[in-house]
Structure formats: structure tokens, C-alpha cells
Amino acid sequence: MVNRMLKLSNVNSYYGEVQVLKDLSMEVNQGEIVTLIGANAAGKSTLISCISRTVTSFDGEIEFEGTRIDRLRPDQVVDHGLIQVPEGRLLFPKLTVRENLELGAYSKRSRSNRKERLEYVYNILPKMKERANQMAGSLSGGEAQMCAIGRGLMADPKLLMFDEPSLGLAPIVVLEIMELIKRIRNEGMTVLLVEQNVRQSLKLADRAYVIENGRILMEGNGRDLLNSNEVKKAYLGI
Amino acid sequence: MEQILQVLISGILSGGIYALASVGLALIFGVVGLVNFAHGEYLMLAMYFAYWLYNMAGMDPYQSLLINLAIMAVVGYITFKVIMERVLDSDHSIQMLLTLALSMVLQNLALMLWKADYRNIRIDITNDTMNLGFLTLNTPRVLAFIIAIGASVLLYLYLQKTFTGAAMRAISQNGKAAQLMGINIKKTYGLAFVIGTTLVGLAGLLLSPIYPAYPTVGASFSTLAFIVVVLGGLSSVPGAIVGGLLIGVIESFAGYFAGAAYQQAAYFLLFILVLIFKPNGLFGRS
């Protein structure tokens, strides 16, 4: 029995005069890794920002665990356990790695457990423990991404949304990040992954949506899409 | 030599008040991103509150300190809720015009309600002095210095050591990311604004036994606080503390060597030099 976690119905979003998302509907079930692929400026990041409510210029319905969340403040969305690891990491550069991680547990849902959460994150990302007292601004790209993911995990997420986690990273680090995402799912969290690295994310995903010009073009099982001619042609250059 | 030392100490004592009057501005600018031209008006209001509490309830400014701070916090909160909250996402130019207008409204409101008279609080301690070796120091100024620096350092520790303080620093570094952490940024903006206005109010309270209250007393402190904050690197609280002390010392020496008329000119000159050669402030990084 599938347990639907996140459901978007007929979402339209506007950036000034331009319509970025067009009548977009999709869903994420509990325990899944769902990936959203598409070219630059297809609307993927906007979609994630609408869910997090850092973009507010949209209409349509967004439900999380059966509750409407499309009128909440961003911090209230976080309270529900719907957490975003943003594009470009957006760490706090002049705070230490440890302070960055701790702020991940700022919301009501995890604030009182922040010691345990920190232990948990250090356990999954031992590198962050080594770097704990270093300014986040001094981390390498891969470490910064680890820190951003750790900060997301601090919030005790039910659903973790990744926006371009592999952006600007060396291929070997990308593999590490993908392994980490798989592990996160295996620990019981649900994952929504926005990626430009189509091959890697389709390999990882249970289901995928292809988004183009703000619309869902295709949807299906990750493996199937990886082998579909359209995806091969448009995104894998084969 | 002894006189030089006396001038230096006198400058440091004033500098403590300047630091306290400025840290709140740095906090509001750093966290809320708001340029508050009405900052000094809260100092003016606090001085009047101290005066009226003294005149009507017979409480000297030290006795009424906590009541007064509570009033200032409420005034700050109301300002934030009624006015500032509406322009948080607006252009800097709109915010500036608005706070400038607010400063005029408050000044003229004070003029209307309380007239232009200088209101002095003369209490026993006003002319007290204490002797430290060959130095003779005015007791209320020493008290003001100690409390001012104490409060400024407390603010710094609050920002560095507490979780809400870390949230404020986080907001000042990346507001969007802070929202994604589940920080209610409007609430935190409000808190920063209230802390800022309460601290500048405290500066006014500490000044009240030695300095008269009048409707435009805040304006000169607004300018001064802006200079201090720019010297300190805009949003840095420790920068504002050092900047305040520096301005106090410069003012004191300019007064001693060149005469009282040159006091303001001296720190404006420094201000211009800093803007030309170190536009990020003395302690700011590019």
C-alpha cells in the first residue's frame, strides 16, 4: 500500500510576467527517491522553492501528509519535517561547521534533540566532526555539500529535498553524494532530488519526472526513463 | 602628561556611551538590513521618560532604569509591528525615507508634547567625582561607561553564545538559508529591532543625569551612531564598540587641542578619510 507523502496539484508559478510552472502536478510516496530532471531554467528549482514557500507567487495546491501547506511560512513548512538542502549549499560562511549544523535543528521538531541529531550527523559524516570548529566558508565544494546535507539531516526530516547537490563537484564526489542520498533513504527518509546530472539521478531514483518549460513532460520508473529514447536523446546526448 | 591621560580617559568614558548608542544600529542593520535614521530618537524618548519618571514619581534614572527599559522595548516593538514590518521587503530608499520621516515625526511630537526646553535631571550624583590617583572622574560618567560597555559586551556574548544569537548571525549572512532552517525571520527581525532600540534607549538613560533632554537631542546621536557603525564595518557589533571608543577619544583630544568647536569636525574628518581609504570600515573586510 503506497502512502502518499507530498502531492502537488495544478501548480502555476510566475516570475513577474513569465509563467515558470504550468499546471504542474506530481507526487512523492513515503520511502521513495523521486527525481526531477530537466534542462536549466526548466522550473525545477522554482518548484522546490514553492514547496518550501520561499517562493510565494504561485497558485494550486500542495499537500504534505494530507495537510495543505501552500499557505504556510517557510519555517512552518520546516516544522512539518519537509526540509530543503538548497542549490549552491547556502551555508553560513562566517559560522563554524558546528554552528551551521546546529542551526539545522532550529525548528520546534528537532530543537530539543539537537545533541542527538548532531551525534547522528557526525556518525554519518565523520568529516564534519573533524571540521566542526572551522568556518563553513573555508570548506571545499564537496565538504560544503556534505555540511549542507548534514544541516538538512539535523532537522529530523521526513522528506528531504535536494536541489542540485552535485553542482560543481568532481565526479568522484558526486558518486559519494549519491551514495549518501541512498543511505538517507535507507534510514527511512523520503527523498525528492532535483538534478542536472541525469544519468546518476535516474540510476538512483525509484521514480522520475522529466520537466520541460515548466510542464511535466514524462514520468516513470527511473530505469525505464534511463533507457527511453527521448531521455537519451535530450539529456544524455546519446 | 597627566592632563593628556585625563583627556584620554574622558574620551574613553564618552566613547562607552557612543558604543552603546551604536551597537543597536549595527545589529538592526546587520540582521534586519534596515537603515534606521530614527535610531537616535529612541535615545531622546528614553531621556524624556527618565525625566518624567524623575519629576512625577521621584525616581532617579538609576531607580527607574528597568521600568524605562521595559517601556523602550514596548515602544520598539510597536514601531516594528506598525511600521517597519511593512517595509522589510521594500527598497533601501523607501526604508530610508520612512525612517527619516519617523525621526521627524518623533522629534516634532516631542516638541509639541514637551516643548523645546532643556530638561535637566539634577540629582545628588550628578556632580559627584571620584579620584583615581591624580585622575578626577565624574561619577555618573564612570557609571555610564561601565554599564554601557557591560551591555554592549553582553549583546556580543548573546550573539556569539546563544542559539537565538546564532540565528541572528545566520540571518545576517543568508536570509533565505535561515528560513530553510526553520527560523521565523520576521520574528527574529522584530527581536533584533527591539534589542536595538532598547540598547540605544539605555544609552539615553545613562546620559540623563549629565545631559539635558530636548526634542532634537537624538539627531546628533543618530549621526554619531552612523559614523561609528561605518567605522566598525557596518554590521559588526564588536566593530561598533571599538568605533564608539575611538570616536570618544578623538572627540576628546580634538576638544583639548583645537577647542570644542572642532570636536565634531574631527570625527567627520576621520569618517571621510575612512570612506575614501577603507570604505569597508576600519575592521571590515572587502
pLDDT tens digits, A37-61? 988 778 899 999 999 999 999 999 9
Cβ pair A27, A187 in contact under 8 A:
no
Task: Let me know if residue A79 belongs to a domain.
Answer: no
Task: Let me know if residue A227 belongs to a domain.
Answer: no
- Length reported for chain B: 286
Decide if B170 and A92 are in contact by the 8 Å CB cutoff.
yes
pTM given for the model: 0.92
A73 burial type by CB count under 10 A (0-12 exposed, 13-18 middle, 19+ buried):
middle
What is the helix (H) or strand (E) element at residue B72, kind and residue range? helix B65-82
Query: Which of B:170-199 have CB within 8 Å of A?
Result: 170, 173-174, 176-186
Q: Which pLDDT tens digit goes with each residue over A77-92?
A: 999 999 999 999 999 9
State the pLDDT at residue B127: 86
Cβ pair B103, B37 in contact under 8 A:
yes
Decide if B177 and A91 are in contact by the 8 Å CB cutoff.
yes
* Cα B85 from Cα B190, distance rounded (Å): 8
Task: Let me know if residue A206 belongs to a domain.
Answer: no
Q: Which pLDDT tens digit goes with each residue over B160-182?
A: 999 999 999 999 999 999 999 99
Task: Let me know if residue A182 belongs to a domain.
Answer: no
State the pLDDT at residue A238: 66
Q: Mark out the alpha helices in A32-106 (DSSP H runs).
A: 44-52, 74-79, 97-104
Task: Let me know if residue A15 belongs to a domain.
Answer: no
Decide if A90 and B177 are in contact by the 8 Å CB cutoff.
yes
Decide if B183 and A103 are in contact by the 8 Å CB cutoff.
yes
> Which of B180, B235, B285 would you mutate first to test chain A, the one with the most A CBs within 10 A?
B180
Decide if B176 and A90 are in contact by the 8 Å CB cutoff.
yes
Looking at mean pLDDT, say which of A205-209, A226-230, B281-285 comes out highest: A205-209
What is the helix (H) or strand (E) element at residue B160, kind and residue range? helix B139-161
Chain A residue with CA closest to B185: the answer is A75
Chain A residue with CA closest to B183: the answer is A75
- Residue B2 has a CB neighbour count (10 Å cut-off) of 9
Crossing angle, helix A141-154 and helix A171-186, to 10 degrees? 10
Beta strands A207-212 and B129-132: pairing type? unpaired
Instruction: Report the number of distinct structural domains present in chain A.
Output: 1
Classify residue A227 as left (phi > 0), alpha (psi -120 to 50) or beta: alpha
Q: Is A90 on the interface with B (CB under 8 A)?
A: yes
Q: Which residues of A touch B185 (CB under 8 A)?
A: 75
Above pLDDT 70, what percent of chain A? 99
Task: Let me know if residue A95 belongs to a domain.
Answer: yes
Task: Let me know if residue A168 belongs to a domain.
Answer: no
Distance of residue A206 Cα from the nearest chain B Cα, in angstroms: 26
- Length reported for chain A: 238
Decide if A155 and B178 are in contact by the 8 Å CB cutoff.
no
Q: Which pLDDT tens digit goes with each residue over B213-235?
A: 999 999 999 999 999 999 988 88
SS percent in chain A: helix, strand, coil, step 5: 40, 30, 30
Q: Is A183 on the interface with B (CB under 8 A)?
A: no
State the pLDDT at residue B135: 87
Residue A152 sits at φ, ψ, to 5 deg, of -65, -40
Contacts of B224 by beta carbon, 8 Å cutoff, 6+ apart: B18, B21, B22, B40, B247, B267
Q: Is B129 on the interface with A (CB under 8 A)?
A: no
Nearest to A95 among B169, B176, B185 (CB): B169
pLDDT in tens, chain B (286 residues): 889 999 999 999 999 999 999 999 999 999 999 999 999 999 999 999 999 999 999 999 999 999 999 999 999 999 999 999 999 989 999 999 999 999 999 999 999 999 999 999 988 888 899 988 888 899 999 999 999 999 999 999 999 999 999 999 999 999 999 999 999 999 999 999 999 999 999 999 999 999 999 999 999 999 999 999 999 888 899 999 999 999 999 999 999 999 989 998 998 998 899 889 988 888 765 5
* Cα B170 from Cα B210, distance rounded (Å): 39
Closest to B207 (Cα-Cα) out of B67, B9, B40, B78: B40
Contacts of B21 by beta carbon, 8 Å cutoff, 6+ apart: B39, B40, B43, B199, B200, B203, B221, B224, B225, B228, B244
Number of CB pairs, chain A paired with chain B, less than 8 A apart? 66
Task: Let me know if residue A71 belongs to a domain.
Answer: no
Range of the domain at A121: 91-157
Q: Is A118 on the interface with B (CB under 8 A)?
A: no
* Cα B221 from Cα B274, distance rounded (Å): 19
* Cα B140 from Cα A21, distance rounded (Å): 64
